[in-house]
Amino acid sequence: MSLLGRLLLSLIAALWRPAVNMMERSFIPIRIWPHDLDLNLHANNGRILTIADVGRLDMALRTGLIVKCFKRGWKPVVASTTVRYRKSLLPFRRYELQSRILTWDEKWVYFEHRFVRHGEVAVIIYVRGGFVSPQGVVPPEKINALMGMDMKAPEQPEWLKQWQAAEQGMREAA
């Protein structure tokens, strides 16, 4: 199945999946197909990131966020990712893609995606992303207000603070 086909099927399936709260974990079943593979006959690292995009889109649809953002001209973006490969995603096997929001800061939202099979995490991805408007990055506080949420960001784990510091160092070095 092509990436566009996977995306369209996920969009259609999201219409029948139950709504989720912004802070709930969403779950979608996925299968690794032959066109997802690299020369090592496991899921290609780029394809894994694209499938994680499908997980975020599923969350945004099931929370109602994507429609509200698109009405305002806001578009989803990814600013950075980090990936930990623990086990190969093998062809024809089913996995559960678990996606959730970890926390946010004044500019970005931090997501976690887990590819799980039989209770074992094969791949874990952390994404820093959000929405942009013609004026720039939409602050998470505006997204919270749009969704009728009045929450403080969950505390950032120490490793996330270190990742942010590393990202800042890379920006300054560029």
In three-state form (DSSP H/G/I as H, E/B as E, the rest C), the secondary structure along 71-114 is: HCCCEEEEEEEEEEECCCCCCCCEEEEEEEEEEECCCCEEEEEE
Mean pLDDT value of segment 1-20: 77
Q: Which phi and psi (to 5°) does residue 117 adopt?
A: -135, 125
- Distances in Å between the Cα of 117 and the Cα atoms of 2, 14, 62 are 22, 21, 23
CA angle 135, 136, 141 (to 5 degrees): 100
Domain span holding position 52: 3-173
Number of domains in the chain: 1
Least reliable range by pLDDT among 6-20, 106-120, 146-160: 6-20
Mean pLDDT value of segment 122-140: 96
* Per-residue pLDDT, 67: 92
Mean pLDDT value of segment 38-45: 93
Least reliable range by pLDDT among 11-20, 26-35, 160-169: 11-20
The CATH number covering residue 35 comes to 3.10.129.10
Could you give the 3-state DSSP secondary structure of residue 122? Answer: strand
**How much of the chain, in percent, has pLDDT values that exceed 70?**
98
Question: Which residue type occupies 162?
Answer: Q
Q: Which phi and psi (to 5°) does residue 30 adopt?
A: -135, 160
Structure tokens at 83: 């990936």
Split at pLDDT 50, 70, 90, the class of 2 is: low
Name which of 106, 131, 113, 130 is nearest 48 in CA terms.
113
Mean pLDDT value of segment 93-118: 96
Structure tokens at 12: 């259609």
Structure tokens at 9: 């099927």
The model's pLDDT over 51-88, given as tens digits with 9 standing for 90+, comes to 999 999 999 999 999 999 999 999 999 999 999 999 99
Q: Which phi and psi (to 5°) does residue 159 adopt?
A: -65, -35
- With 0.95 as the threshold, say if the pTM is over it: no
